[in-house]
Amino acid sequence: MIDAIFQEFIKKAPEMKESWEVVQLFEEERQKFQEELQAYEEEIENARVALRDLRAQIVQTKDQIKELQTLQKSKEEEIQEIRQELLSHKIKRDLWQLEKDKPELQDIDEPLPQALEVVEIYLKDHSIARARPAKRYFADNLYRQYRVLLRENHVLKDRVFGLDLENSTLKIELRDRQTQDKLQVKDPEDPQ
């Protein structure tokens, strides 16, 4: 810029006769410089205002992203709760259906305690003697209790089977959830 002013001065120097022409030349260049400086300052100020607006938009967008992420997380938790509730209802329905379809416990040939027919007795001389015991060691009410307990045992086994089934499905869900959490920890940018 300064070189351009001096080159202009050198070109016009032979034509200039008065000192005010030199001053006028430098004043014109100073005026041009001031105008360019003013234009640059306006551009800089406009750029600062635009940058300030963009930064405000970025902050606002980041806040919106955070809000959307928290909303997404809460919705995912709600979906997980609904899935668990749905699975629980499905398991209850299946258990109810199994109990409904299961034939009523009837007098099926179930193993009952039998009276001993032969008893081996060890004698003092280390020999074995066989004897016939009484036909029944137990009263009829004991047999009835045994039947009731046997039925309850079957019902409890069915219930334990249902609970084992539910437990295994919950273990699978827990494993899947842990895997999903590990994947989210590895890649937090992935919105899925």
Give the tens place of pLDDT for each residue, 139-166: 667 778 888 888 889 999 998 998 999 8
Question: Tokens 């039925």 label which residue?
Answer: 151
The tokens describing 134, both together, are: 């009484």
Candidates 65, 156, 68; CA nearest to 105 is 156
User: What are 43-80's pLDDT values in tens digits?
Assistant: 999 999 999 999 999 999 999 999 999 999 999 999 99
| Model pTM above 0.95 | no
Tell me how many degrees the CA angle 87-90-91 measures, rounded to the nearest 5. Answer: 85
The average pLDDT across 24-28 equals: 76
